[in-house]
């Protein structure tokens, strides 16, 4: 994690350097611009649908307010114009809010401290990320870091709140499939990999292992971003019962040895009431004989 009291100096569009560094070092350490990818897991997914019904002709409305007419307008000045025109349309957005505690990497932005000296401090993103996925048209021509035909997007900080928003786009068929799956409650989670035009620390780039957390810095409050890939975790996967594998017999024996079953006798098969009566009579007879012997001996 970066010390927020540390200051950085703009060297060129691809490099920031430490503004305050020790004199005994050969050069200040650098933060270098590159395309860094972050992994996001979106679990609470919301579908937003914006329907356009009609369209207002703002140019005609503006001329009406000023009492002017367009130079090429040869119509009768007293004829009413059609300011409201039909424009049916649908724009769908899949959105989610992800806690920054669930993100491995930390994201910062540069803040102007001294414009003349090109000195900057850093502010860290707080609380959560607002993620939105749309089916915006891809670029017709190459722009910035994107080639023509790429579905581009942006990442930016909300002013003063330091909350991060990421907006990316996918193909229309892909978004249609995602919306259908989410509405049918088949999606438990979306795992996304998003590429961000950002700066990373040269020491981390050299010694850091891929699974260690990183500190990424975007210049200003907005940077380019693009969705690299995503995976759908299905609800059906999480609800599958655990199937235990069948037990295999011992290699030493071809067949399992049959187990001897021991039948426990029922209590009613052991005790017979008639036998109990015979035993009782015999005991009484023995008692009478013993009593007679005892009396005659006296």
Which tens digit of pLDDT belongs to each residue from 61-115? 555 555 556 666 666 655 566 788 899 999 999 999 999 999 999 999 999 999 8
With 80 as the cut, is the pLDDT of residue 9 above it? yes
pLDDT band of 266, cuts 50, 70, 90: very low
What pTM, to 2 d.p., does this model score?
0.70
Question: Mean pLDDT throughout 270-275?
Answer: 54
**236 vs 214, higher pLDDT:** 214
* Structure confidence at residue 130 (pLDDT): 96
* CA dist., res. 161 & res. 99, Å (int): 15
Residues 13-43: pLDDT tens digits?
999 998 887 776 778 889 999 999 999 999 9
Q: Decide if 255 is inside a domain.
A: no
Model confidence at 268: pLDDT above 70: no
Is residue 95 a part of any domain in this protein?
Answer: yes
pLDDT at 265: 47
pLDDT of residue 267: 43
Identify whether 110 is part of a domain. Answer: no
259 falls within a domain: no
13 vs 244, which has greater pLDDT? 13
The answer to whether position 293 is within a domain reads no
The structure tokens 């914006």 sit at 50
- Which two tokens mark 289? 């004989």
Q: Mean pLDDT lowest for which of 40-54, 100-114, 230-244?
A: 230-244
Which residues form the domain of 154? 35-59+84-105+126-198+208-238
Q: Within a domain: residue 98?
A: yes
Give the pLDDT confidence score for residue 171 in this predicted structure: 95
Task: Give percent of the chain above pLDDT 90.
Answer: 52
Residue 167: both structure tokens together:
């907006």
Residue 28 lies in a domain: no
What mean pLDDT comes out for the span 45-49? 95
Does 195 have pLDDT greater than 90?
yes
Residue 276 belongs to some domain of the structure? no
How does 130-163 read in b/e, with b if 16+ C-beta sit within 10 Å?
Answer: ebbbbbbeeeeeeeeebeeeebbbebbbeeeebb
Contacts (Cβ under 8 Å, ≥6 apart) of 4: 121, 122, 123, 124
Q: How many domains does the chain have?
A: 1
Q: What confidence tier does 257 reach under pLDDT thresholds 50, 70, 90?
A: low
Name the band, by pLDDT with cuts 50, 70 and 90, for residue 284: confident
Q: What is the pLDDT of residue 254?
A: 52
**CA distances (Å), 68 to each of 79, 85, 128, 271, in order?**
14, 21, 49, 119
Q: What is the C-alpha separation between 166 and 119, in angstroms, rounded?
A: 27
What contacts 123, CB < 8 A, 6 or more positions away? 4, 108, 109, 111, 157, 162
Of residues 257 and 31, which shows the higher confidence score? Answer: 31
pLDDT at 172: 94
Pairing of strands 164-169, 128-134: parallel
User: With 0-12 CB in 10 A as exposed, 13-18 as middle and 19+ as buried, what is 2?
Assistant: middle
**Alpha-helical regions (H) of the chain:** 58-66, 172-183, 202-207, 235-238, 267-270, 273-297
Q: What is the pLDDT of residues 145-193, one digit of tens each?
A: 899 999 999 999 987 778 999 999 999 999 999 999 999 999 999 999 9
Q: Quick one: pLDDT at residue 235?
A: 84
């Amino acid at each position: 994690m970066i010390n927020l009291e540390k200051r950085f100096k703009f060297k060129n569009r691809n490099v920031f350097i430490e503004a305050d560094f020790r004199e005994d070092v050969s050069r200040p350490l650098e933060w270098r611009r590159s395309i860094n990818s972050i992994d996001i897991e979106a679990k609470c997914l919301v579908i937003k649908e914006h329907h356009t019904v009609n369209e207002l002709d703002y140019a005609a409305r503006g001329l009406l307010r000023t009492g002017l007419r367009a130079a090429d307008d040869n119509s009768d000045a007293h004829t009413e114009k059609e300011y409201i025109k039909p424009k049916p349309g649908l724009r769908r957005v899949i959105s989610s809010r992800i806690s920054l505690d669930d993100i491995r990497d930390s994201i910062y932005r540069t803040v102007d401290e001294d414009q003349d000296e090109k000195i900057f401090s850093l502010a860290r993103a707080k609380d959560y990320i607002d993620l939105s996925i749309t089916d915006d048209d891809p670029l017709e021509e190459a722009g910035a870091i994107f080639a023509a035909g790429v579905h581009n997007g942006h990442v930016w900080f909300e002013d003063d709140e330091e909350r991060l928003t990421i907006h990316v786009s996918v193909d229309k068929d892909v978004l249609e499939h995602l919306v259908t799956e989410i509405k049918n409650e088949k999606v438990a989670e979306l795992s996304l990999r998003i590429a961000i035009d950002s700066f990373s620390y040269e020491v981390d780039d050299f010694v850091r292992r891929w699974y260690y957390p990183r500190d990424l810095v975007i210049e200003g409050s907005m940077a380019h971003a693009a969705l690299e890939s995503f995976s759908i975790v299905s609800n059906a996967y999480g609800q599958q019962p655990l199937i235990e594998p069948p037990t295999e017999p011992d290699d030493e024996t071809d067949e399992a040895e049959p187990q001897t079953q021991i039948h426990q006798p029922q209590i009613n098969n052991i005790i017979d009431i008639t036998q109990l009566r015979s035993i009782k009579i015999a005991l009484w007879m023995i008692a009478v004989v013993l009593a007679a012997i005892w009396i005659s001996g006296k």
